[in-house]
């Protein structure tokens, strides 16, 4: 059984989707449709850069979504998936690929999500850090102690794979957690270059704005199970999907558990659609006996 997986923020780069635009007139038309719908020059940012524009969250999120959808649409050799999942914004791509969201609705939502997250980051500044080599329970306990002692915010934000966790919160909270993690013998504690404390309570402004937009967006039952970041389980009911997408902004991404639950569901092959190979790496660090592959460019280009 096969699962399609879709990357999140951080996998973007200038030149993404360039080969699809050059190989397929319908891909160029899809890029133009996105430009017209969002009223920004997204396609130029994706294909030409500069990187500073592409790093802006309101460009980053629709860019990755669009690249992933092009990779899926133009992979003529793909086999039918029995499950799907996406990391953070990639969950919207998974829902669109599974037919729960229409393409134009999903594109508008991820663009709005990026705008709201950027604004939330301006309203309540924060940061994130990658902690490599620490047990999840131990790191969670460190975060809880800091919140209690210093009256600040720091939480696990991404449970990516065994021993790879991202924390999120105020600068004070994250820096103190990094210090305590290093004292506890962690191999790597590295602050990330981000515009806000994603997947933490500091994103509540974005969650409130997205809730309003999702309420007026049509969502139907996915054609295959889509594993939610928040619950690590499939969500089928439209209202449940809306609730989980809102909660996702302030709750941790449980990617490691999602991958394990997909394995228990019967998945033995994971195919990543979109820029980069981050999720393939996370899957192989989580499971040893599965196949992973990726579709980033047209087959004719990669052959």
Q: Which of 11, 43, 68, 88 is catalytic?
A: 88
**What is d(CA 166, CA 205) in angstroms, rounded to the nearest whole number?**
21
Q: CA triplet 163, 167, 169: central angle to 5 degrees? A: 170
The pLDDT value given to residue 303: 42
- Nearest residue to 261 (alpha-carbon basis) of 84, 51, 58, 42: 84
- At a CB cut-off of 8 Å and minimum separation 6, what does 9 contact? 57, 60, 61, 64, 88, 89, 198
**Which pLDDT score, from 0 to 100, does residue 236 have?**
87
Domains of the chain, start order: 2-122+201-302 (3.40.366.10), 126-191 (3.30.70.250)
Of 43, 199, 200, 258, the active-site residue reads 199
In this prediction, residue 194 carries a pLDDT of 87
Residue tagged 């003529």 (tokens): 76
Question: Consecutive sets of 10 residues in the chain, 303 residues long: mean pLDDT of each?
Answer: 95 93 94 95 93 91 96 91 97 98 97 96 96 95 97 97 96 97 92 92 97 96 97 94 97 98 98 96 96 90 47
Q: Is 88 a catalytic residue?
A: yes
Contact 70, 62 (CB under 8 A): no
CA dihedral 99, 71, 116, 59 (to 10 degrees): -150
Strands laid side by side in the 188-191 sheet: 154-161, 164-169, 127-132, 188-191
Tell me if residue 87 is catalytic: no
The CA dihedral of 194, 88, 112, 221, to the nearest 10 degrees, is: 180
- DSSP category for residue 171: H
Sign of CA dihedral 259, 265, 268, 270: negative
Contact yes or no for 226/85 (Cβ under 8 A): yes
Cα-flanking dihedrals φ and ψ of residue 93, to 5°? -65, -45
Rounded distance between C-alpha atoms, residue 107 and residue 63, angstroms: 9
Given a contact cutoff of 8 angstroms between Cβ atoms, the answer to whether 229 and 253 are in contact is yes
């Amino acid at each position: 059984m096969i699962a399609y997986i879709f990357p999140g923020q951080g996998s973007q780069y200038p030149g993404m989707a360039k080969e699809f635009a050059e190989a397929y007139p319908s891909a160029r038309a899809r890029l133009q449709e996105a430009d017209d719908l969002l009223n920004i020059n997204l396609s130029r940012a994706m294909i030409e850069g500069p990187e500073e524009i592409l790093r802006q969250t309101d460009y980053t999120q629709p860019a990755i979504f669009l690249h992933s959808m092009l990779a899926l649409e133009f992979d003529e050799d793909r086999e039918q998936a029995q499950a799907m999942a996406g990391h953070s914004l990639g969950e919207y791509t998974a829902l669109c690929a599974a037919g729960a969201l229409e393409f134009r609705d999903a594109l508008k939502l991820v663009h709005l999500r990026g705008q709201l997250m950027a604004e939330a980051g301006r309203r309540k500044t924060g940061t994130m850090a990658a902690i490599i080599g620490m047990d999840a329970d131990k790191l969670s306990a460190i975060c809880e102690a800091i919140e209690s002692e210093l009256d600040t915010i720091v939480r696990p934000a991404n449970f990516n794979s065994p021993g790879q966790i991202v924390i999120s919160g105020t600068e004070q909270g994250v820096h103190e957690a990094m210090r305590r993690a290093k004292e506890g013998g962690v191999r790597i504690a590295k602050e990330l270059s981000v515009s806000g404390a994603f997947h933490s309570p500091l994103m509540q402004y974005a969650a409130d704005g997205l809730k309003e937009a999702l309420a007026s967006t049509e969502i139907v039952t996915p054609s295959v199970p889509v594993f939610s970041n928040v619950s690590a389980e499939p969500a089928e009911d439209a209202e449940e999907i809306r609730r989980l997408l809102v909660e996702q902004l302030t709750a941790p991404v449980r990617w490691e558990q999602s991958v394990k639950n997909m394995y228990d569901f019967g998945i033995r092959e994971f195919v990543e659609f979109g820029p980069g190979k981050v999720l393939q790496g996370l899957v192989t660090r989580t499971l040893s006996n599965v196949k992973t592959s990726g579709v980033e460019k047209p087959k004719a280009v990669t052959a």
